Structure 1
Amino acid sequence: MQSRTTPLQQELQQSSRAPRKPHAIPKTRLAARLSAISLAMMVAGFSTNVLAVGKLEGQIRDNVSQQPLAGATVTLKELNLSQQAGRDGRFFFVGVQDGDYTLVVNYLGAMPLEHSVSIRDKQTTLQDINLSSQDDVEHIRVVGQQGALSKSMNRQRGADNVLSVVSADVLGNFPDSNISESLQRVPGLSIERDQGEGRFVRVRGMAPDYNSVSMNGTRLPSPESDRRAVALDVVPSDLLQSVEVSKTLTPDMDADALGGAIEVKSLSAFDRDDTYLNLNAEASQDTLTDNTNPKLAASYSDIFADKLGVAIGASWYNRDFGSDNVETGGKWEFAGDNGFEDAALESIDARDYEINRERLGIGVNFDYRPSDDTDLYLRTLYSEFDDTETRNSSKTKWKSPQQANALSQGKTTRSLKSRTENQNITSFVLGGQTRFERWTFDYQASHSTASAEKPRDIAGADFVAKIDNTGFRNTQQPQIIAPEDYFQNANFELDEIEIAASKAEDTINSGQLDLTRQLTLADYSVELKTGVKLSRRDKSNREDIWIYSDLGDQGVSDDDLLLSQYAGNELDYGLGRFGSGIDATPLWQLIDSLDAESNRDDIESTINDFDISEDINAAYLMGHIDIDKLRILTGLRFEQNQWDSSGYGYDGAKGEFIDIKHSRDEDHWLPALHLTYRYSDNTVLRAAWTNTLVRPTFGQLAPGYLLEEDDGDIDLTFGNPELKSLESMNFDLSLEHYFGNIGLISAGLFYKDIDNFIYQADLAGRGDYIDAHSAVTFVNGDSADIYGVELSYVQEFSFLPEPFNALVLNSNLTYTDSSAKISWLEDGQLLSRDIPMPSQSDLTANLSLGYENSYASVWLSAAYKSEYLQEVTELSDERYDLYQDNHLQWDFVAKAHLTSNLTLYFKGVNLTDEPYYSYTGDSSYNAQYEAYGRTFQLGVQYTNY
């Protein structure tokens, strides 16, 4: 191999540069001004050291159950100094001047409380608070769906940013098998599904790679070889305490999120007051395959000597299911320059999937409080996800595109894909908090690793035949029209077998230090905070490919090439007649009899290998000041990014590999301003101006490339390590009003102004690729804009007469619109057109209607997302854009509380059998249709809580 700089890099440096927008200079000025303001606040804080100060700490609990009330707002009235109680109900005020004060506590669903406290110099005042319910008859709701909504709304009400919270009780009240499915209930959130199961989370209609995912304060790595987005189906929801989604970021948060930052919090013993035990046993049935599947989950926590807390959770789920699929891949041809007249189809592919997924999740967490001033914790996670897939495919391709119901000879390929994938995520987070007389010191170190490994598998075994008089009917759900020869196995001959093995690894090591001080400055309450974070990430991918072709030349007899030698049973395919499946066992016997080394594809086994290291150094300075009812939070974050990547290119014209190494760095100054005006205890107005970024995916940054030559035509595909990170200036405005025990109505507006939008483009005909037939890579676009409105309404109808007073409504709707510009070169002229942001849905909505009392709980829920652009396949013709169609899924849950500890439940998933559907240009023209059936779950739960 040769090591050298290729002309690809020079062209990419030019093509990835986007014109600077007019707001670039004001950004710099604003950053400097905010930095100066924050620095002045910090200097003032350091200089205010002469007054006598003490500390106040305590815990907020329910008066009857004695359970901690997370999210309660605690205020020292005379100082206008406020904070939220933590997940364990505790609060801490440090650096408070010697004196007598009034402590005010507010919690939705509880009576407000005022209490006199005295704080003395160099002393810690302890003050525990017990709250009573508003009606002063029952204890405050802390369990069930209503209690979960109360916890979430209290946390959201007291936050400094736009925040949505889902507690563990909500996670258990819907038929959700993993975190992503639970998050589809959150305002503005929807999910991407794989085989009908939720995997990736979308925030405010934006793609998963535009959002960040952390667990216990540390970023989770991605098992996927080319992505940053974390497929949250690998983390069972049974291991969680809550999930928080921040839609606006403060300077002390990692800046790499455009849609939102998802923070997963796992179990802690101090979340509850006493020994906790939860046991679940469940069986589910999949109607498409009639399989019955088991699930077991258990969690336990306890506190020893009031100092050591131990929490353990485990979940296991083994599911056999499948799907029926038919797709065209968008291979349509439309006549004329406009419209969809005389649509003709190039190929149709019917697919039958049989899948087994086994999930195992284990979390063991420790909390230790060696003194009143120090908290230490260790959070661990082990998650394993095994996915075994058997896919039978029958694909027919015609010599020329075929109109519906027309017949001609087609080449039909019957193929088998049989593979197993193992995904793992392991995370260790060690940290703590120490509270000094004037300062609070938070510290954390973490190690997380993820891997996705596919052992040697059958990536494709193809049997081919040419069948006369074939065609298709129905453009939305195409079905093959074919004679009986199409189903005769003896007509198909083995053409090629592809064997593949791969492994991707992603490791993140990070350390973080934060220093906080509370003080009074000119009679105003001020909090100052500064910190640093170092993150080291290594991503690698390895693939090995073997292509077994010309099998007759390798000694395979004519009889052993016939599909009839490998045929299995007739497939139960719900979208029409399919024929027999293909058995993997005799195929493996054939493969093992051949020489692997002589069939290894050196090119495909090399060009997708890469190593990318990503070093991020970050620091921030921020502070907030409370002026009467207004809180002003401002600050500046700096992030420095260094990438080092290596990979391989292959020049097919010269028949040589090129060893490629690349290094690059970026600096980002990210100012922020948050305004929170608390008109009353229950009415909050928020405004925010923030700046965030999204780094390119690892697949986009991978430096490898492939150059192929065919009859003088040069075709290139390659990554772009010169891509700039997407940058976004964000504006948010929201109004929230809380009422009753459980009630919320809110409205929010948001706008995002994006630079360096990334899209896939063909650079053929320009620069170094002027003579290329195609040169496909990723480039930075000109600009993109996203704006939207977010509405929420939650209501407990306790004011209605019985039995309607047990009704609860939880609803939200988010409307998002966007515009982005792509450009290309045609006949020497630079052309462009506007498109929506890829993967951005205009409308997402959730509706849940529940009935809950001491004896039963019933919930009907719906989750909706509108269509979105998946891929631009023809830059110059929008008719060939691929879209995913809208999706509406209904789910149902019914629980019967047999005793105070024992619950029997029934859950129904996808009640209307909603399929997955994507289309080409117009919803009449299939790109992919896939049906999953319904799933019903029956289970029993024991809890002592």
Structure 2
Amino acid sequence: KKGKYLYKLLFLILLSTFALPALGQNNGKISGLVVDADFGEPLVGVNVIIQNTLLGAATSLDGKFTILQLPPGNYTLEVSMIGYAKQIIEGVSVKSNETTHVEVILKPELLETEEVVVVAKAVMNTEASLLSKRQKSIEVSDAISSEQFEKTGSSNAADAVKQIVGATVVNGKDVFVRGLGDKYTSTNLNGAQIPSADPYKRSGSIDIIPSNLIDNIQVVKSFTPDKPGDFSGGAVNVKTKDFPDRLDISFSSSAKYNSQVTFNDNGLGYYGSHTDWLGFDDGTRALPPEIGSDTWTANVGAGQRDDHLAQKIDEVTKSFNPQMTPFRSAAPINQSYALSIGNQYELFGKQVGLIGSLTYKNQHSGYIEGQLNRWDRGVADPGKTQLDTNFAMSDTRSVSEVVLGGLFKASMNFDQANTVSFNFLYNRNAESTARFVNGKYPYDIDASWNYQARTLLY
């Protein structure tokens, strides 16, 4: 049932990104970015007017603007702001149902006027603005923007974080800051902490967030009073885009080969549920209904004298899943898939942005005929120099991991200073382990006996 919610969410995203923009009929739009020529920082409140018309827009806090509902044709833009030289851009072509992107660089112009104080929230969306933010910040931090993603070809947030100094990605999804473990690192999406699907880990996985939906990633390495009380080693914040410039659909897939277990018939496996490939159990591993929800203890001694109790014990015993040992099985090739969609449109005269993604991974790892050994000197004879064997085992282990993730964000821009966003993140991680240990255990049993242990873990 849980998997069905993701399919409904995907249908909603597809409906929003394809159907709703059709309300704009065959008109096009112009969007762009206005920055300062000297510092490369976005300019707020720049007037962008289509010459000889009343159509236009003003840049937002991040220096971006969008002029909607334009009939196809060629236009001339007039870009102006107090303190900067006016700029005229001719021959801006608008096509039906397409977005024309324009980047404008304004040069400062000397102008004497009264003091003007502008209060605005800094938005980090370019390498220049991120660098400026770091220079003025009182905290030790580092960041990377979407401009850098395009240069390096990072496919998701985990790949992008690898480029930040002091940040390390373990197992392709867990972030360590300055070498500290994941229990000292918190991961956030747009300022809200990402929950971990693993109860033994604090930081959530960020490999389910595609890079084409990300605006920037910031890693904070020192504590300041504005940070949460549980801040310890570091914090990673992934900031996603609010309003994509145009309809953006991306699909990627990958396959990997593990030389230890892929297509190796000496690997291990067991019969799980029919929905293991989706990351959840369909009830196969649940306690049998004969036991119920309460703890049930079998009185074997009394059952020897009570035929009815003996029959009950026999029924309960046989109701359990008979799968108690792994069998030899070859692991398939590792595979992953990611689909992301982003678009913006006009609703009730307001700019609305939608982004969404679905991520699926099925990975297999392990080892075959490894060694699990232990020796010690013992405590009975402190002067003893020879080590005694506690155990010497042959160890085979196969692990199957399924990751299922979904992301959805809806944003509405009410005016230059107010944008409301809704974020939804779904993260499911399931791990199935089969293990077989075989060898000698002279520490606890006779050295001539053979010791075996089998493990099925989900």
Class of the TM-score when normalised by the shorter of the 2 chains:
0.5 to 0.7
Contact 2:182 2:201 in 1 (8 A): no
Aligned to 1:223: 197
1:212 corresponds to 2:186: yes
Quickly say closer, same or farther: Cα 1:365–1:399, change in 2 above 3 A: same
Q: How does 1:605-754 map to 2 (within 5 A)?
A: none
Q: How does 1:474-485 map to 2 (within 5 A)?
A: none
SS at match of 2:142: strand
Quickly say closer, same or farther: Cα 1:303–1:120, change in 2 above 3 A: farther
Aligned to 2:145: 167
Contact 1:239 1:362 in 2 (8 A): no
Contact 2:403 2:429 in 1 (8 A): yes
Contact 1:396 1:412 in 2 (8 A): yes
Aligned to 1:247: 221
1:115 corresponds to 2:109: yes
1:186 corresponds to 2:229: no
Aligned to 1:298: 340
Quickly say closer, same or farther: Cα 1:256–1:327, change in 2 above 3 A: farther
Deviations 1:390-446 (Å, cap 9, x if unpaired)?
4132243412399xxxx9535332414153xxxxxxxxxxxxxxxxxxxxxxxxxxx
Contact 1:216 1:266 in 2 (8 A): yes
Structure 2 spans left out of the alignment, 5+ residues: 1-29, 44-58, 66-81, 86-103, 264-332
Contact 1:333 1:401 in 2 (8 A): no
Q: How does 1:261-660 map to 2 (within 5 A)?
A: 261-269=235-243, 274-288=245-259, 289=262, 291=333, 293-304=335-346, 307-324=350-367, 331-334=374-377, 342=387, 344=389, 346-348=391-393, 350-369=395-414, 371-372=415-416, 374-400=417-443, 408-419=447-458
Rounded Cα–Cα distance in structure 2 between residues aligned with 1:277 and 1:210: 36
Quickly say closer, same or farther: Cα 1:321–1:237, change in 2 above 3 A: farther
Question: Alpha-carbon deviation of 1:366?
Answer: 0.9
Quickly say closer, same or farther: Cα 1:354–1:204, change in 2 above 3 A: closer
Contact 1:72 1:155 in 2 (8 A): no
Which letter maps to 2:253?
Answer: E
Aligned to 1:676: none
Rounded Cα–Cα distance in structure 2 between residues aligned with 1:240 and 1:211: 20
Rounded Cα–Cα distance in structure 1 between residues aligned with 2:238 and 2:213: 10
Which letter maps to 1:379?
Answer: F
Which letter maps to 1:114?
Answer: P
Which letter maps to 1:183?
Answer: V
Question: Alpha-carbon deviation of 1:189?
Answer: 1.3
Rounded Cα–Cα distance in structure 1 between residues aligned with 2:384 and 2:233: 34
Rounded Cα–Cα distance in structure 1 between residues aligned with 2:150 and 2:383: 50
Quickly say closer, same or farther: Cα 1:292–1:205, change in 2 above 3 A: closer
Which letter maps to 1:246?
Answer: V
Question: Alpha-carbon deviation of 1:188?
Answer: 0.9
Question: Alpha-carbon deviation of 1:125?
Answer: 12
Contact 1:215 1:264 in 2 (8 A): yes
Contact 2:197 2:427 in 1 (8 A): no
Question: Alpha-carbon deviation of 1:354?
Answer: 4.5
Contact 2:210 2:338 in 1 (8 A): no
Higher strand share: 1
Contact 1:393 1:415 in 2 (8 A): yes
Rounded Cα–Cα distance in structure 2 between residues aligned with 1:339 and 1:86: 77
Question: Alpha-carbon deviation of 1:173?
Answer: 6.1
Rounded Cα–Cα distance in structure 2 between residues aligned with 1:156 and 1:209: 26
1:89 corresponds to 2:63: yes
Question: Alpha-carbon deviation of 1:232?
Answer: 3.4
SS at match of 1:232: coil
SS at match of 2:226: coil
Contact 1:246 1:262 in 2 (8 A): yes
Quickly say closer, same or farther: Cα 1:204–1:86, change in 2 above 3 A: farther
Which letter maps to 1:161?
Answer: E
Deviations 1:828-863 (Å, cap 9, x if unpaired)?
xxxxxxxxxxxxxxxxxxxxxxxxxxxxxxxxxxxx
Deviations 1:581-624 (Å, cap 9, x if unpaired)?
xxxxxxxxxxxxxxxxxxxxxxxxxxxxxxxxxxxxxxxxxxxx
Quickly say closer, same or farther: Cα 1:223–1:333, change in 2 above 3 A: same
Quickly say closer, same or farther: Cα 1:172–1:292, change in 2 above 3 A: farther
Aligned to 1:736: none
Rounded Cα–Cα distance in structure 1 between residues aligned with 2:164 and 2:179: 12
SS at match of 1:319: strand
Q: Aligned pairs, how many? A: 302
Structure 1 spans left out of the alignment, 5+ residues: 1-63, 76-84, 92-100, 105-109, 127-146, 420-945
**More deviation in 326-335 or 203-212?**
326-335
Aligned to 2:49: none
Q: How does 1:129-148 map to 2 (within 5 A)?
A: none
Aligned-residue Cα RMSD (Å) equals 4.8
Contact 1:393 1:416 in 2 (8 A): yes
Rounded Cα–Cα distance in structure 2 between residues aligned with 1:259 and 1:176: 25
Question: Alpha-carbon deviation of 1:245?
Answer: 0.5
SS at match of 1:161: coil
1:66 corresponds to 2:32: yes
Question: Alpha-carbon deviation of 1:252?
Answer: 2.4
Rounded Cα–Cα distance in structure 1 between residues aligned with 2:427 and 2:119: 46
Which letter maps to 2:204?
Answer: V
Question: Alpha-carbon deviation of 1:187?
Answer: 0.5
Question: Alpha-carbon deviation of 1:174?
Answer: 5.8
Which letter maps to 1:333?
Answer: D
Contact 1:211 1:259 in 2 (8 A): yes
Rounded Cα–Cα distance in structure 2 between residues aligned with 1:326 and 1:418: 19
SS at match of 1:248: coil
Rounded Cα–Cα distance in structure 1 between residues aligned with 2:413 and 2:384: 67
- For residue 202 of structure 1, the aligned residue among 164, 172, 176 is 176
Deviations 1:465-524 (Å, cap 9, x if unpaired)?
xxxxxxxxxxxxxxxxxxxxxxxxxxxxxxxxxxxxxxxxxxxxxxxxxxxxxxxxxxxx
SS at match of 1:396: strand
Which letter maps to 1:162?
Answer: V
Identity rate, percent = 15
Quickly say closer, same or farther: Cα 1:262–1:396, change in 2 above 3 A: same
Deviations 1:541-575 (Å, cap 9, x if unpaired)?
xxxxxxxxxxxxxxxxxxxxxxxxxxxxxxxxxxx
SS at match of 1:156: helix
Deviations 1:672-728 (Å, cap 9, x if unpaired)?
xxxxxxxxxxxxxxxxxxxxxxxxxxxxxxxxxxxxxxxxxxxxxxxxxxxxxxxxx
Q: How does 1:789-868 map to 2 (within 5 A)?
A: none
Deviations 1:784-819 (Å, cap 9, x if unpaired)?
xxxxxxxxxxxxxxxxxxxxxxxxxxxxxxxxxxxx
Rounded Cα–Cα distance in structure 2 between residues aligned with 1:163 and 1:183: 13
